[in-house]
Structure 1
Amino acid sequence: MRRRALLPAASALVLAACTAGPPPEVATPLPELPESFLFAPDAGTGTSLARLMPTEDAGFAALARQALASSPTLGEAAARVEQARAGADRAGAELLPSIGANASVTGQRTNPNSFGGNLPAGIAFEAERVSYAANLTARWDLDLFGRLKASERAALAKVDAASAQAQAVRIALLSEIAASVIDWRTLEEREREIRSDLTAAEELARLAGVRERAGLAPGFDRVRAESSAASSRSRLAALESERTRLLGRLVTLTAQGGTDVRAALATGATTGEIPAPPATLPSTLLANRPDVLAAAASLAAADAQLAATARQRFPTFSLSGAIGLLAFGLGDLFDGDSLVGSLAAGIAGPLLDFGRIAAEIDGAAAEKKAAFEAYRGAVYTALGDAEAGYGLVSAADAEAAAAASEAANLQRAARLADTRYQAGLADFLTVLEARRAADASGERAAAALGRARRARVLLWQALGGSELP
Structure 2
Amino acid sequence: MFALLVAIGLSGCMVGPDYHKPPIELPMTFKEGTQWQRAAANPQGALDSQWWRAYQDPILNDLIARSAKANQSIIGAEAAYRLAQAQVASSRAGLWPTVGVGLSGARGAGGSGSSSSSSTTTGVSAGTGGTGVSNSVSATLSASWEPDLWGLVRRGIESSQANLQSSDALLAGVRLSIDASVATNYLGLRQLDMDIDLLQKQQTINQQLLEMIQAQTVQGTATNDQLLVAQDQLSTVITDLQTSQRSREQAEHALAVLVGVAPAQFNLPAVTAYNFVLPMPPPTLPSSLLQRRPDVVSAERLAAAANAKIGVAQAAFYPTLDLTAEGGYRGSALGGLFSLPNRVWTLGPALAETIFDGGAREAAKEQAQASYDQDVANYRGTVLSALQNVEDNLSAINHLHTQAQAFEQMFQRNQQLFGSQEAQQRAGTVSQQAVLTQQLVLLQAEQNWRDTQGLLSQGSVALFQSLGGGWQEHAEPKN
TM-score above 0.5: yes
Unaligned runs of 5+ in 1: 1-19
Work out the CA distance in 2 between the residues paired with 1:39 and 1:420.
47
Contact 1:53 1:460 in 2 (8 A): no
Whole-Å separation in 2 of the counterparts to 1:24 and 1:42: 37
- CA positional deviation for 1:447: 1.4
| 2:81 is aligned with 1:81 | yes
Which string of whole-angstrom CA distances, capped at 9 and with x for unpartnered residues, describes residues 302-345 of structure 1?
11111112111111222211121211223242333222111112
* Cα separation, partners in 2 of 1:224 and 1:358, compared to 1, 3 Å: closer
Match of 2:313 in 1: 309
Cα distance in 2 between the residues matched to 1:239 and 1:458: 22
Q: Aligned-pair distance for 1:219?
A: 8.2
Verify: 1:32 aligned to 2:22, yes or no.
no
Q: 1:194 to 1:451 in 2, by over 3 A?
A: same
From 274, 288, 294, the equivalent of 2:292 is: 288
Q: Corresponding residue for 2:156?
A: 151
**In 1, Cα distance between equivalents of 2:94 and 2:36:** 51
Is 1:368 matched with 2:361?
A: no
String of CA shifts for 1:230-259, please: whole Å, max 9, x gaps: 543443233211111111111221112436
TM-score (norm 2): 0.80
The one-letter code matched in structure 2 to 1:244 is E
Aligned-partner Cα distance in 2 for 1:222–1:427: 18
Give the Cα–Cα distance (whole angstroms) in 2 for the partners of residues 384 and 79 of structure 1: 31
Identical-pair percentage:
22
- Pairing 1:379–2:372 present: no
Q: Does 1:455 align with 2:448?
A: no
User: Is 2:131 the partner of 1:138?
Assistant: no
Distance 1:172 1:269 in 2: 27
Partners of 1:419 and 1:228 in 2: CA distance: 26
Matched, 1:56 2:56: yes
Contact kept? 2:107, 2:135, Cα under 8 Å: yes
Letter in 2 for 1:403: F
**Structure 2 letter corresponding to 1:30:** P
Q: Is the 8 A contact 1:295 1:374 kept in 2?
A: yes
Counterparts of 1:312 and 1:320, CA distance in 2: 21
Structure-1 separation of matches of 2:14 and 2:229: 89
Task: Give the superposition deviation at 1:192.
Answer: 2.7
* Alignment deviations for residues 52-101 of structure 1 (CA, whole Å, 9 cap, x no partner): 76641222111111100111100110011100000100111110111111
What residue in structure 2 maps to residue 404 of structure 1?
408
Q: Match of 1:349?
A: 353
Deviations 1:405-445 (A, max 9, x none): 33444454455456557767668887676566555332222
**1:336 aligned residue:** 340
Match of 2:59, SS state, is: helix
The equivalent position to 2:304 in structure 1, one of 278, 281, 300, is: 300
In structure 2, what is the Cα distance between the partners aligned to 1:198 and 1:36? 48
Contact kept, 8 Å, 1:50 with 1:460, in 2: the verdict is: no
One-letter amino acid of the counterpart of residue 451, structure 2:
A
Q: Aligned equivalents of 2:141 and 2:51: distance in 1?
A: 63
1:323 and 2:323 are equivalent in the alignment: no
Partner amino acid, structure 1, of 2:353: G
Match of 2:133 among 128, 131, 136: 128
Q: 1:131 to 1:455 in 2, by over 3 A?
A: same
Kept after mapping to 1: 8 A contact 2:74/2:175: yes
- CA 1:223–1:383 in 2, change beyond 3 Å: closer, same or farther? closer
Distance 1:420 1:441, change over 3 A: same
- 1:28·1:372 contact (CA, 8 Å) conserved in 2? no
Q: Corresponding residue for 2:91?
A: 91
Aligned-partner residue type, residue 78 of structure 1: E
Is contact 1:84-1:159 (8 Å) kept?
Answer: yes
- For residue 36 of structure 1, what is the amino acid of its counterpart? T
Q: What count of residue pairs does the alignment treat as equivalent? A: 440
User: Compared with structure 1, are the counterparts of its residues 228 and 398 closer, same or farther at alpha carbon in structure 2 (3 Å cutoff)?
Assistant: same
Does 2:253 correspond to 1:248? yes
Letter in 1 for 2:254: R
**Residue type at the aligned position of 1:38:** K
> 2:175 is matched with which residue?
170
8 Å contact from structure 2 (residues 425, 431) kept in 1: yes
Letter aligned with residue 246 of structure 1: A
Contact kept in structure 1, 2:182 and 2:258, CA below 8 Å: yes
**Structure 1 residues 269 and 360: CA distance shift in structure 2, 3 A:** farther
- Looking at structure 2, the residues matched to 324 and 202 of structure 1 have their Cα atoms a distance apart, in angstroms, of 100
Deviation, structure 1 residue 372: 0.8
Residue 393 of structure 2 aligns to a residue whose secondary structure is helix
Give the whole-Å Cα distance in 1 for the aligned partners of 2:381 and 2:67: 30
Distance of aligned partners of 1:304 and 1:227 in 2 relative to their CA distance in 1, 3 Å threshold: closer
Shift of 1:348: 1.6
TM superposition shift of 1:24: 7.4
Q: Does 1:182 align with 2:175?
A: no
Mapped partners of 1:29, 1:287: distance in 2: 12
Q: Measure the CA separation in 2 of the matches of 1:140 and 1:103.
A: 21
Is contact 2:414-2:442 (8 Å) kept? yes
**Which structure shows the higher helix fraction?**
1
Moved more, 380-389 or 334-343: 334-343
Structure 2 CA distance, aligned partners of 1:372 and 1:143? 28
Q: In the superposition, relative to structure 1, how do residues 295 and 270 fare at CA in structure 2: closer, same or farther (>3 Å)?
A: farther
Q: Take 1:179 and 1:122, find their aligned partners in 2: how far apart are those partners?
A: 90
Q: Distance in 1 between matches of 2:455 and 2:153?
A: 53
Instruction: Please give the alpha-carbon distance, in whole angstroms, between the structure 2 residues aligned to 1:21 and 1:194.
Output: 71
Evaluate the alpha carbon distance shift between residue 54 and residue 275 of structure 1 in structure 2; reply closer, same or farther with a 3 A threshold.
Answer: closer
Q: Does 1:391 align with 2:395?
A: yes
Provide TM-score, normalisation by structure 1. 0.82
1:69: which partner in 2?
69
Is residue 277–residue 457 contact of structure 2 (8 Å, CA) maintained in 1? no
Does the 8 A contact of 2:146 with 2:321 survive in 1?
yes
Q: Equivalent residue for 1:236?
A: 241
Q: Structure 1 residues 206, 43: closer, same or farther in 2, change over 3 A?
A: farther
Moved more, 98-107 or 405-414: 405-414
Secondary structure of the residue aligned to 1:406 is helix
> 1:403-442 maps to which residues of 2 (within 5 A)?
403-410=407-414, 412-413=416-417, 416=420, 437-438=441-442, 440-442=444-446
